[in-house]
Structure 1
Amino acid sequence: MIPAKVKIVEVGPRDGLQNEKDFVATATKIELVNRLSRAGLQNVESASFVSPKWVPQMADGGAVLAGIERRPGTIYSVLTPNMRGFEGALEAKADEIVIFGAASEAFSQKNINCSIAESIARFEPVAKATKDAGLRLRASISCALGCPYQGEVPVAAVVDVVERMKALGCDEIDIADTIGVGTPARTREVLAAASRVFPRERLSGHFHDTYGQAIGNIYAALEEGIEIFHASVAGLGGCPYAKGATGNVATEDVVYLMNGLGIETGVNLDQLVEIGDFISRAIGKPSASRAGKALLAKKLAGAAPCV
Structure 2
Amino acid sequence: MPSRVRIVEVGPRDGLQNEAAIIATADKIALVDRLSATGLQAIEATSFVSPKWVPQLADAAEVFTGIARRDGVAYPVLVPNLHGYTRARAVGATEVAVFTAASDTFNRRNTNAGIDESLERFRPVLAQAAEDGVRVRGYVSTALGCPYQGEVPVGEVVRVARALHAMGCYEISLGDTIGVGTPGKARAMLRAVAGDVPMDALAVHFHDTYGQALANVLACLEEGVAVVDAAVSGTGGCPYAKGASGNLATEDLVYMLHGMGIHTGVDLDALADTGRWLAGLLGRESGSRVTRARATT
Q: Could you say which residue in structure 2 is the equivalent of 1:134? A: 133
- The superposition leaves residues 125-183 of structure 1 with CA deviations (integer Å, 9 ceiling, x where unpaired) of 11111121111100000000001111111111100001110121000000000000000
Q: Could you say which residue in structure 1 is the equivalent of 2:77? A: 78
- The superposition leaves residues 190-241 of structure 1 with CA deviations (integer Å, 9 ceiling, x where unpaired) of 1011111111012001000001100000000100100000000000011001
- Distance in 1 (CA, whole Å) between partners of 2:108 and 2:55 is 22
Where in structure 2 are the equivalents of 1:219-238 lying within 5 Å?
219-238=218-237
Where in structure 2 are the equivalents of 1:53-202 lying within 5 Å?
53-202=52-201
> Structure 2 counterpart of 1:105, which letter?
D
CA RMSD of aligned residues (A): 0.9
Find the residue that maps to 1:137 and give its secondary structure: strand
Q: Gaps (5+ residues) in structure 1?
A: 299-307
Report how far residue 279 of structure 1 moved. 0.8
Where in structure 2 are the equivalents of 1:261-280 lying within 5 Å?
261-280=260-279
Q: Could you say which residue in structure 1 is the equivalent of 2:47? A: 48
Retained in 2: the 8 A contact 1:273–1:296?
no
Q: Gaps (5+ residues) in structure 2?
A: none
Report how far residue 252 of structure 1 moved. 0.4
Which stretch shows the higher mean deviation, 111-120 or 280-289?
A: 111-120
- Distance in 2 (CA, whole Å) between partners of 1:297 and 1:273 is 13
> Structure 1 counterpart of 2:266, which letter?
V
> Structure 2 counterpart of 1:172, which letter?
E
> Structure 1 counterpart of 2:71, which letter?
P
Q: Could you say which residue in structure 1 is the equivalent of 2:285? A: 286
Q: Could you say which residue in structure 2 is the equivalent of 1:301? A: none
Find the residue that maps to 1:139 and give its secondary structure: strand
- Distance in 2 (CA, whole Å) between partners of 1:297 and 1:269 is 16
> Structure 1 counterpart of 2:149, which letter?
Q
Which stretch shows the higher mean deviation, 288-297 or 145-154?
A: 288-297
- Distance in 2 (CA, whole Å) between partners of 1:182 and 1:81 is 26
Find the residue that maps to 2:75 and give its secondary structure: strand
> Structure 2 counterpart of 1:3, which letter?
P
- Distance in 1 (CA, whole Å) between partners of 2:278 and 2:195 is 39
Retained in 2: the 8 A contact 1:274–1:296?
no
- Distance in 2 (CA, whole Å) between partners of 1:40 and 1:173 is 22
Where in structure 2 are the equivalents of 1:20-59 lying within 5 Å?
20-59=19-58
- The superposition leaves residues 62-113 of structure 1 with CA deviations (integer Å, 9 ceiling, x where unpaired) of 1111111111010001000011111111012123110011101221222223
- Distance in 2 (CA, whole Å) between partners of 1:51 and 1:68 is 21
Q: What TM-score comes out, normalization by structure 2 length? A: 0.98
Alignment length (residue pairs) = 297
Retained in 1: the 8 A contact 2:179–2:212?
yes
Report how far residue 16 of structure 1 moved. 0.2
> Structure 2 counterpart of 1:237, which letter?
G
Which ranges of 4 or more aligned residues in structure 1 deviate by more than 4 Å? Answer: none
Q: Could you say which residue in structure 2 is the equivalent of 1:7? A: 6
- Distance in 2 (CA, whole Å) between partners of 1:121 and 1:297 is 50
Structure 2 vs 1, CA of residues 52 and 113 (structure 1 numbering), >3 Å: closer, same or farther? closer
- Distance in 2 (CA, whole Å) between partners of 1:65 and 1:111 is 24
Q: What TM-score comes out, normalization by structure 1 length? A: 0.95
Q: Could you say which residue in structure 2 is the equivalent of 1:305? A: none
